[in-house]
Every structure is written in C-alpha cells, then in structure tokens.
Amino acid sequence: MFSQGYVRVMEIDLHEGRCRIHKREDLLENIGGSGLAAALYGEYGQPGEDAFAPEQPLIIAIGPLTGLFPLMSKAVLGFKSPYSGHYAETHAGGRLALAMRYANLDALVIKGEASHPVCLLLGEREFAVREGRHLWGMDTTMTARIIRSSEERGRGRRSILRIGPAGENLVKYACINVDTFRHFGRLGAGAVMGKKKLKAITILGEGSFSLPHGDYKKVYKKIYRKITTSGAMKKYHDLGTPVNILILNGLKALPTRNLSSTSFTGADSISGEYFAEKLLLRQIACSSCPVGCIHIGLLREKFAPEHEYYYRQVSYDHEPIFAMGSMLGVSLGEKVISLIDEAEKHGLDVISAGVALAWATEAYQKGLIGEKETLVPLAFGEAGSYRQALACLSGRVNDFYRLLGEGTLAAAARYGGSEFACTLGQEMAGYATGPAFFVSQAMGFRCSHLDTAGYQLDQEFDPCSVERALSYLLKEEKQRFILTSMVACLFARNIYTTEMLSEALEAAGLPHLALELETRAAALVKRRWQVKKSTGFDPLKVTIPPRFYQVETIRGKVNGEFIDALLKAYAGAIAAL
C-alpha cells in the first residue's frame, strides 16, 4: 500500500499456476496507475516480442489515493496491444479499483499462458487458479452468472473481470468486461486475456487497514461534500455522456455513416434526452463515486408471435451510441441499445466494432466487397444485419471477418477502401471535432479522446496557432497523466485540482509526493512515451487517413494544412523525449 511506504505487486505466472508477492519501495516514485503500469511494463514487458507472446504481461495498477477518497475509482491496464503492436493503456471503473485496494493489491502482473482455460480468484489471503473449461465459449453475462453462483465469498465487495467469445477468438479489439457495465475497452486487452486462456478474474476486496494519521477524516469529508454539493458533477448523473449527441450534432461534429457526414438527421431519436425519456431504468455508480454516471437502459424485445417479451439491462454512453447509432446510420434508441447489447455479450469493443462495420458498409456500397464476404447485406440503418454481422465478427467466421477483426486497415489492405477508413491509431472515437482531436487520438496511449483534450480545444472555436495548440495538448496530457496515476475518474478533473490533490496526498500520508508531484509527473510522462517507443512506436510515422481531411464542421471544412502542421509538431515533441 502506497501510504505505508511500498507498492505491493502480485506477480502471477499462468503457466506455473503460482503467484509471488513483491513489496517494492522503489516503485513509489512512479506515483501509481499510468505511471506505475508503464514502469512495470518496462520491467516485465517484452517490447520486441509479439503482443501475443506468452510472457507479455497484462498489468493492472491502482494508485496512492485509490480507496482513500471519493471518485478515485479507476484502474489502469497497461499492455502491448495486439491491435497496434505498441504499449497501450485502457482504464476501467466498476468495483475493480476498490476491490484491489482492499485485497491489498496495488498492482497485478499477469504473465505466461495457461495450458487450458482457467479463471483466477484473488484476494488479500487468496490466490487460486480455477477451472475455466466449462466457461469457454460463453458470453460475458452467463460467465459472470456462473462465477457468482459458484463463489459466495466477497459479495458486494468483489469485482469480476471476464472475456467473451471475441476475446477467446483473439479479435484484436476484444475488450475485458468489468462488473457487467464497465470495460477495459479498445486496443484488444480482451484478446491478450484470451491468448493466455484466462477467462475470468475475481478479486475479493475483503481486507481492512488502519487510517492515515492526521487530517484524513477532515479532508475526506471536505472532498465528499465538494463533490456532492458543488453541482459540477450533475451533468454526468443527469443525462450522462449521451448529452453530447445533440451538442456534437449541433456543431456538425457527430461522426455519421462512416464519417461521410458530421450531422445526423436521426440524432433526436438516439440522443441522451431520448434515452433518458424512453429507455433509462436507473443510474448506478462505481465503488466510492457518489455521482453515479452509469446509465442503464431497458432493452425489451419480442421473441414470439404472442405477447412474449424478454428484457435486459444495458449500459449506454455517448460513444457506444455514436458507434452503433449515427456511425451506422441507425436512428432509433431501441435499435441502438440492442446492438450495444449484442456487442457486449460477445465481448467486442463496441466503438471499434461499430466503426469497423461502418467502413464495411461503405465498402459494400462501393462494391469492394459483396455478400460473399459480409454474409449479410450491409446497409446504413439496417440494425438487423448489423446484429448478425457482430456475431460474425466475434466468431471470425470467414476470411473477411477474420481480417476485419484485425482492424479496419487490415481489411482495407486486402479489399481496398483505406481512403475512407476512420482510424486514428484505431477506430475513431465519437468526436469529429477537428484537427486537435484527430492528432491527439492518433498519438495517444489509449488512442481515444481521453489522453489529452484535443476535442475540447477544437470546440473552443478559437482559431489558434500550431504552437498554442501544441502547448495545450502537452499541458493537458500531463495534467491527465497525474489524474490517471492517482487513479481518479477524469470526470472529477475539476474537483481534483492541483491544490486539492496536494491536500489529499498529504492527508493520505504522502507529503513528499504532494510536493514533488509536478516534477515527478513531467519525468514520468517522458518515460511513458519511451516505453511506447520501445515497442516500435514511431510518432513521425503516424498518418491520418484521407477521410478526416474531408470533414466539415460548423466552422467549415477542416484545415488540412493545420492537421499536418499539428501532427508534425506533436510528433516532433514526442520524438524528442
């Protein structure tokens, strides 16, 4: 535990079926989360080996404030992505971070490959490799049901991670489902778990620890009050992230029909407002977050001619809605939620799967591929076909879907159509806001809008120089790195200001870290880029596909020269580190 002067790492070898605990004082300098995961990859990773090599580690790290303060609710997974071949991060909430804290596991390093499908059961006083063959092939929902019913311990204080068939089949954007409604998404962490034949991980958060001395209780109450009374977090609970659908549509920045457009005529009936009125069942929260941004919608479908219905609960957010909605031309919330549910069960990353199918639809329209490849006729707006296509993608049923499961560009290399591939390091996130977003997603560790705040800079509508844009991206990247090293939810970025973080770190018994935070973060940001570069990433070789240069936002057509100049400047800055 960080505040007790060391980082407790559980190193798991799936080949041997054993674990080893390391108490490491020297790792404290890496802060935690993003910083710690990169340091551990530097130590345990095999940067020159294939992402699927047995010894490649999956590293999950929490931070020095996890479990100590509200909204310090995320865990960071660092790994070599089978999609990009580079070091990558993915973050998840749910019950995981607190379960790890109370299991006294600051970081997990999972390496090796099991000889047959297995599950892990971890806790403060527990390590077991359990049978997984009976779960192999099962969807993410059924897998968790069986695990829950076969293990009573830790109810309410445990976290269950699992993969679906997509991960088992090594789809390169298979995700890891965390506690049903959250994910280690994007870039294929689920496929790495599948390669290791690791179907599921259960973590029991049953331990208890003494409180830090001094002002801890006072600061805890102060931060809790600030979060629950300031009003700053209201929007995340109210409509949640899907509030962005209409905002982005109004700015002509909502990726639509494979980004052939940036506004969607069907936006109203896939909007956050529509979901809240028609489909919202309730909101739930990650452990220790009093906000509750996880929106659960109702999927109700008829399964027989009489009045026979089944219903399921599906979490929705802006990005799954964009990916299964506007990007595929699907204009009804009910259909969108059914597609999200389908992708979830298979354990596919919803965003990547939607964007890949959007490309496939345009390729189909243009005659580059036909029904021989797609098996179902793909057409924008046809949710039924997409539902079947998602199953084909997860099952990798033929050459076409096998290639599409490697990524849009892999399929385009074979069939043509790279000029309309919407990839920026991986399939695009749901923000066609302009150059700063395009450049930042293409470079980052999560290859999403989250590494730095390009999408915000684009939306400020303040024409700025390349120099200013670059300094904005670098500053924001560092600030976000600090937060994701704690590990805070980024929705709390306006609560956890530099001053508030200092106060929290002092109260947690880490006054030195509070003092050195800025300087240490600067060094660690550099180190994290070096780790990515060690896996073969060359920022100077990053390109942005032609489709992005044709984007028109409310400000008019994007400035291609500005994209190129900012890409060059950002790549240069990273290359120099």
Partner 1 sequence: MPKILRAIAMERCIGCYSCMLGCARLVHNSLSLIRSGIHVRSLGGLTAGFEARYCLACRPAFCALACPTGAFVQREGGGVCYRERLCIRCGHCARACPVNVILVDEETGFPVVCLQCGSCVNFCPHGCLAMVDAPSKEQPGTAGTAGEPDIKQR
Give me the least distance between CB of 312 and partner 1, in Å please: 8
* CB-CB contact of 186 with 86 (8 Å): no
**What span, in angstroms and rounded, lies between the C-alpha atoms of 150 and 143?**
11
Between residues 205 and 242, which has the closer beta carbon with respect to partner 1?
205
Query: Does the footprint of partner 1 cover residue 468 (CB under 8 A)?
Result: no
- The answer to whether residue 7 forms part of the interface with partner 1 (CB under 8 A) is no
Using the rule CB under 8 A, which residue among 56, 140, 143, 180 binds partner 1? 180
Q: Which of 59, 96, 233, 447 binds partner 1 (CB under 8 A)?
A: 233
**Contacting partner 1 (CB under 8 A), which of 30, 90, 256, 288?**
288
Binding residue for partner 1 (CB under 8 A) from 25, 48, 152, 208?
Answer: 208
Residue 486, both tokens: 């704690």
The answer to the question of residue 479 lying near partner 1 (CB under 8 A) is no
Give the one residue of 34, 244, 287, 452 binding partner 1; rule: CB under 8 A: 287
Residues numbered 376-415 forming contacts with partner 1, rule: CB under 8 A? none
Starting from the edge strand earliest in sequence, which strands make up the sheet with 87-92, in order?
18-24, 7-13, 107-111, 58-61, 75-80, 87-92
Residues 8-67 contacting partner 1, CB under 8 A: 67
3-state helix/strand/coil string of 107-150: EEEEECCCCCCEEEEEECCEEEEEECCCCCCCCHHHHHHHHHHH
Give yes or no for a contact between 203 and 105, defined as CB atoms under 8 angstroms apart: yes
The tokens of 559 are what? 């400035």
Q: Which is nearer to partner 1, 138 or 356 (CB)?
A: 138
CA–CA dist 187, 532 (Å, integer):
14
In the complex, minimum distance from the CB of residue 162 to partner 1, in angstroms, rounded to a whole number? 12
Beta strand 198-204 pairing with 118-123? parallel
CB of 119 to partner 1, least distance (A): 17
Binding test (CB under 8 A) with partner 1, winner from 184, 220, 437, 445: 220
Helix (H, G, I), strand (E, B) or coil at 503: helix
Alpha helix locations (H) across 16-139? 33-44, 96-102
Of the two residues 68 and 324, which places its CB atom closer to partner 1 in the complex?
Answer: 68
Binder among 261, 283, 471, 534 for partner 1 (CB under 8 A): 283
286 binds partner 1 (CB under 8 A): yes
| Contact set for partner 1, span 421-460 (CB under 8 A) | none
Nearer to partner 1, 142 or 466 (CB): 142
Segment contacting partner 1 (CB under 8 A): 56-64, 140-148, 247-255, 372-380? 140-148
* DSSP secondary structure letters along 320-381: HHHHHTGGGT---HHHHHHHHHHHHHHTB-HHHHHHHHHHHHHHHHTTSS-HHHHSS---TT
Q: By C-beta, is 94 or 255 nearer to partner 1? A: 94
Please tell me whether residue 144 binds partner 1 under the rule CB under 8 A: yes
In angstroms, the CA 167 to CA 193 distance is 7
Q: What are the structure tokens assigned to 44, written together?
A: 């345990």
**Residue 283 Cβ vs partner 1, minimum distance, rounded to whole Å:** 6
Look at the alpha carbons of 534, 539, 540, 541 in this order and tell me if their dihedral is positive or negative: positive
Check residue 292 for interaction with partner 1 (CB under 8 A).
yes
Task: Kindly compute the dihedral angle of the four CA atoms of residues 253, 257, 258, 259, in this order, to the nearest 10 degrees.
Answer: -30
By CB under 8 A, tell whether 93 contacts partner 1.
no
Nearer to partner 1, 173 or 216 (CB): 216
Stretch that binds partner 1, among 129-137, 209-217, 301-309, 339-347 (CB under 8 A): 209-217
Q: Does an H or E element contain 296, and which?
A: strand 294-304
| Closest approach of partner 1 to the CB of residue 104, in Å | 11
Examine residue 526 and tell whether it contacts partner 1 (CB under 8 A).
no
Tokens at 123, concatenated: 């806790």
- The correct pick among 120, 122, 166, 289 for binding partner 1 (CB under 8 A) is 289
Nearer to partner 1, 148 or 475 (CB): 148
Q: Does 282 bind partner 1 (CB under 8 A)?
A: yes
Q: What angle do CA 348, 328, 388 make, to 5 degrees?
A: 50
Residue 177 interacting with partner 1 (CB under 8 A): no
- Residues contacting partner 1: total by CB under 8 A: 47
Single out the residue of 51, 41, 58, 46 nearest to residue 406, CA to CA: 51
The one-letter amino acid code at 250 reads G
**Nearest to partner 1 of 100, 270 (CB atom):** 100
CA dihedral of 146, 148, 151, 157, whole degrees rounded to 10: 160
Tell which one of 211, 515, 522, 523 touches partner 1 (CB under 8 A): 211
The maximal CA–CA distance of the chain, rounded, in angstroms, is 69
Instruction: Outline where 379-465 has alpha helix (H).
Output: 383-395, 399-404, 408-415, 435-443, 454-459
Choose the binding region for partner 1 from 46-54, 205-213, 471-479, 496-504 (rule: CB under 8 A). 205-213
By CB under 8 A, name the binding residues for partner 1. Answer: 67-68, 70, 98, 102, 144-145, 148, 155-157, 179-181, 205-212, 216-217, 220-221, 224, 228-229, 231, 233-234, 237, 282-292, 296, 312-313
